Structure 1
Amino acid sequence: MPLSLYLLAMAVFAMGTSEFMLAGLLPDIASDVDVTVGKAGVLTSAYAIGMVVGAPLVAMLARYWPRRSSLLAFVLAFAAAHAAGAITTSFPVLFATRVVAALANAGFLGVALTAAATLVPPDKKGRALAVLLSGTTVATIAGVPGGSVLGTVLGWRATFWAVAALCLPAALGVLKGIPAGRGKEEGTGRSALWAELALLTRPRLIVVMLLGALVNAATFGSFTFLAPVVTDAAGMGDLWISVVLVLFGAGSFIGVTVAGRLSDQRPGLVIVAGGPLLIAGWLALALLADKPAALCTLVFVAGALSFALGSTLITRVLYEAAQAPTLAGSYAIAALNTGAVAGPLLAAATLSTEAGVLGPLWASGLLVAVALLIALPLRTVVAAGRSVEVLQ
């Protein structure tokens, strides 16, 4: 894998850290800018919604720019938004910086996913995607806990500055590793915008986007509410929350790495083997969450299987949208973040049921089961190593 791909992953690491870090910073942010914690929580929702809406819109706006210029503009805008957030004392301004950061993140990922596929041979898209997405998984292992510690020691503004600083090596990587000018697929041979948008009417693309959204909803639904599972269901101390989150992140890194070696040629193996195991993993976690040793083990397993299955489905989105060279990445990001928005909302609704803090775990198992029920009769769509001509 080329060095430039790893530098793009560094930017994804910074962006993943930013997306999830507020969970540990909200009380301090709320106190500092004089709002309630509940109101400060809209910063997280605004970011996720900005990602869903921004991915296709920003990609469309940038489709006539060379990829290097687009990526550089997005990563610098992301850094600037965090620098502005670090110095403001106004909640509306902070809210605006989160929206700008989300749009820049969406635009960067949308272009980076497509650019990453052009940096490697055609049959290595899955591995390239795995490297890129490893930035997100490493963020859950190191970035989010590290940001929480930094915020505790130096204040939440220091975490914002750190995220901005991480973007600088990534910007250098874009300048050094992404070719200047337009690639062949970006020039006169690229499809018109309407033709790229028309791909959204193709049933097989809709299917894999839906499956990716369902699996990601399951992942982030439970990930968001792991803290009360640790403290209430398992009866562990607050310090164990970070340990469990790191275990989930470590599992996700293993899962996306292993799947990256299989998702190009053997996606069916990942889906057929990983799907039922993931359902069993979420249900086992719900049943055994009161046992700390089982909780720690199953969280690692759930992280690995979730990201293995999720990244494989997102790779399928890139294959199915291969005729949309500038929007394929945004379709993948929209699918991912639709799940990231819907999953926590659904999981939150289960907290008021008899299942209590274990409700999100049961909901995650159900979401993956629904995904498999949809995928089973359409296995030729989701299990082909390359795009196949079915469901025309």
Structure 2
Amino acid sequence: MAGVQFANVLDFMMVNPLGPQLAQDPSMQVPTSQLPLVIGSYTAAASITGVLGSFFLERFDRRSALFVTLLGLAVGTALGGMAQGLASLILARIVAGLFGGPATSLAFAIVSDAIPSRRRGWAMGIVMGGFSVASVLGVPAGLNLAKLGGWRTPFWGVALLIGCAAIASLRLLPPLRAHLARASSEQSAALALFNIMRKPVVALSLAMTTFTMLGVFIVIPNIPAFVQFNLGFDGNRLDVLYLLGGVASFVTTRFTGPLVDRFGSTRVAVVGSILVGGLVYVWFVAGVTAIPVLVVSTAFFLAMAMRGVAYNTLTSKVPEPHERARFQSVQSAVQHGATAAAAFLSAQILSELPDHRLEHLDRVGIVSIVMVAIIPILMTIVERLVRERPAASSRSGR
């Protein structure tokens, strides 16, 4: 699953650092202030299929479903390499997002099925390591491919990689059908979804997901253009930025998982949220330029990884075992929908100067900090409800 996550995350992450090249390509005509739309189109499509997937994913063998979604993602990514303008690139990313969203929810559902709750922080740390490896190896490799063959080459390379991941999932994973017995006894997918959504812990968990995505993805799509055009960072060294950030993320995910298992998700997430909010303030609100770009960017990756492991571990404990794929689909829809909303909002707030520099970044930063500050509050409530549920179940059984 870490390998699947690597391929899936790389497809999503790859587009962002290619933004400056897209902006400078006369045939594409993509303004830097509109680059978030490319990210948002993927996540908006993934949100739609996340909702639809909640109605039918529990009815299929998880292995077969994962194979189909990865295959579709590979096709959509390859189409991105054939784009001839902003509109066609957005269309290709929509196709990729339609399959990428369910692939993510299925991967986490498979891990949740296989790993007991007490060790799930460790497991999520490994799976989240796919994000880090995508940063350490995938994004720098993609940027170097772009140097050699243009920005289209990484799209085709990643499409090939995702296709290999699809074949590997079909060949290496066993049939995953244990959840089907319970799913077949449900009256309907709509009723099952309603029964999940009416639970307070689920509603609060989805609210937590919304603020988690809004808080960071209002700034993330703009980082490559910001550091290159506003801070004067050499665009040819963006691969170094992602390499260092990926190494920091990888190391962080390895030690954060056991910390979450020992101290709980909320305590770890509070530290990560403070770091994320502080770094956003330094860069986007205060406009501090004295600190080297690579120092701030690496610290940002570290903080994101710390908070990500805590968040994913907690949300994996929210659904009952037979509800996991359906819950993960809804959660994936909310994640991608909030990411799209954040990207579209930043595109509306920001504007581009003649030299490609972005302005009004301080407004984006303030919105991000407010969202980030809300997350620990919601995590505290969700974690308390999750801990109380086993006790309530045991009391009702006596």
The worse-fitting range, judged by mean Cα deviation, of 302-311 and 100-109 is: 302-311
Q: Deviations over 1:268-292 (max 9, x none)?
A: 3213433334333333444363114
Q: Which residue of 2 aligns with 1:276?
A: 274
User: Unaligned 5+ residue runs, structure 1?
Assistant: none
Cα distance in structure 2, aligned partners of 1:234 and 1:26: 19
Cα distance in structure 2, aligned partners of 1:390 and 1:351: 49
Q: Which residue of 1 aligns with 2:254?
A: 257
Cα distance in structure 2, aligned partners of 1:114 and 1:60: 15
Q: Which residue of 1 aligns with 2:340?
A: 341
Pick the aligned partner of 1:36 from 24, 29, 34: 29
Q: Deviations over 1:59-88 (max 9, x none)?
A: 433332211111111112222333444457
Q: What is the DSSP-based 3-state SS (H/G/I as helix, E as strand, rest coil) of the residue aligned with 2:271?
A: helix
Identity of aligned residues (%): 20
Deviation at 1:24, TM superposition (A): 4.7
Q: Deviations over 1:243-283 (max 9, x none)?
A: 44444444433443333333345213213433334333333
Could you say if the C-alpha distance between residues 231 and 84 of structure 1 is closer, same or farther in structure 2, counting changes exceeding 3 Å?
Answer: closer
Cα distance in structure 1, aligned partners of 2:391 and 2:276: 27
Could you say if the C-alpha distance between residues 347 and 253 of structure 1 is closer, same or farther in structure 2, counting changes exceeding 3 Å?
Answer: farther
CA contact (8 A) 2:36 2:346 kept: no
Deviation at 1:241, TM superposition (A): 4.4
1:68-107 to 2 correspondences below 5 Å: 68-86=63-81, 95-107=90-102
Q: Deviations over 1:180-224 (max 9, x none)?
A: 2x5222224666322234322222222222223222222222222
Pick the aligned partner of 1:211 from 208, 211, 217: 208
CA contact (8 A) 1:350 1:363 kept: no
Q: Which residue of 1 aligns with 2:354?
A: none
Cα distance in structure 2, aligned partners of 1:291 and 1:191: 62
The worse-fitting range, judged by mean Cα deviation, of 188-197 and 303-312 is: 188-197
1:16 aligns with 2:15: no
Aligned partner letter, 1:256: T
Could you say if the C-alpha distance between residues 311 and 56 of structure 1 is closer, same or farther in structure 2, counting changes exceeding 3 Å?
Answer: farther
Aligned partner letter, 1:305: A
CA contact (8 A) 2:101 2:336 kept: no
Aligned partner letter, 1:370: I
Deviation at 1:349, TM superposition (A): 4.9
Q: Which residue of 2 aligns with 1:325?
A: 324
TM-score, normalised with respect to structure 1? 0.81
Cα distance in structure 1, aligned partners of 2:300 and 2:77: 32
CA contact (8 A) 1:318 1:328 kept: no
Q: What is the DSSP-based 3-state SS (H/G/I as helix, E as strand, rest coil) of the residue aligned with 2:289?
A: coil
Q: What is the DSSP-based 3-state SS (H/G/I as helix, E as strand, rest coil) of the residue aligned with 2:260?
A: coil
CA contact (8 A) 1:59 1:111 kept: no
Aligned partner letter, 1:367: M
Cα distance in structure 1, aligned partners of 2:13 and 2:208: 25
Q: Deviations over 1:116-143 (max 9, x none)?
A: 2223233233333333332233333432
Q: How many residues align?
A: 379
CA contact (8 A) 2:133 2:250 kept: yes
Aligned partner letter, 1:23: G
1:368 aligns with 2:367: no
Cα distance in structure 2, aligned partners of 1:346 and 1:255: 30
Cα distance in structure 2, aligned partners of 1:16 and 1:56: 19
CA contact (8 A) 1:10 1:170 kept: no
1:170 aligns with 2:174: no
1:298 aligns with 2:296: yes
Aligned partner letter, 2:210: A
Cα distance in structure 2, aligned partners of 1:351 and 1:284: 18
Q: Which residue of 1 aligns with 2:355?
A: none
CA contact (8 A) 2:19 2:225 kept: no
Deviation at 1:50, TM superposition (A): 0.6
Cα distance in structure 1, aligned partners of 2:232 and 2:29: 28
Q: What is the DSSP-based 3-state SS (H/G/I as helix, E as strand, rest coil) of the residue aligned with 2:102?
A: helix
Deviation at 1:332, TM superposition (A): 3.0
CA contact (8 A) 1:209 1:332 kept: yes
CA contact (8 A) 1:222 1:364 kept: yes
Aligned partner letter, 1:110: S
CA contact (8 A) 2:252 2:306 kept: yes
Could you say if the C-alpha distance between residues 247 and 157 of structure 1 is closer, same or farther in structure 2, counting changes exceeding 3 Å?
Answer: same
CA-based RMSD: 3.5
Could you say if the C-alpha distance between residues 390 and 258 of structure 1 is closer, same or farther in structure 2, counting changes exceeding 3 Å?
Answer: same
Deviation at 1:25, TM superposition (A): 4.9
Q: What is the DSSP-based 3-state SS (H/G/I as helix, E as strand, rest coil) of the residue aligned with 1:12?
A: helix
Q: Which residue of 1 aligns with 2:57?
A: 62
Deviation at 1:380, TM superposition (A): 4.2
User: Unaligned 5+ residue runs, structure 2?
Assistant: 352-357, 393-398
Cα distance in structure 1, aligned partners of 2:3 and 2:228: 37
Q: What is the DSSP-based 3-state SS (H/G/I as helix, E as strand, rest coil) of the residue aligned with 1:225?
A: helix
Q: Which residue of 2 aligns with 1:149?
A: 144
Cα distance in structure 2, aligned partners of 1:14 and 1:241: 15
Deviation at 1:21, TM superposition (A): 5.6
CA contact (8 A) 1:7 1:169 kept: no
Cα distance in structure 1, aligned partners of 2:134 and 2:330: 22
Could you say if the C-alpha distance between residues 116 and 269 of structure 1 is closer, same or farther in structure 2, counting changes exceeding 3 Å?
Answer: same
Aligned partner letter, 1:159: P
Cα distance in structure 2, aligned partners of 1:16 and 1:389: 37
Deviation at 1:108, TM superposition (A): 1.0
Aligned partner letter, 1:135: G
Q: What is the DSSP-based 3-state SS (H/G/I as helix, E as strand, rest coil) of the residue aligned with 2:266?
A: helix
Larger RCO (CA under 8 A, 6+ residues apart): 2
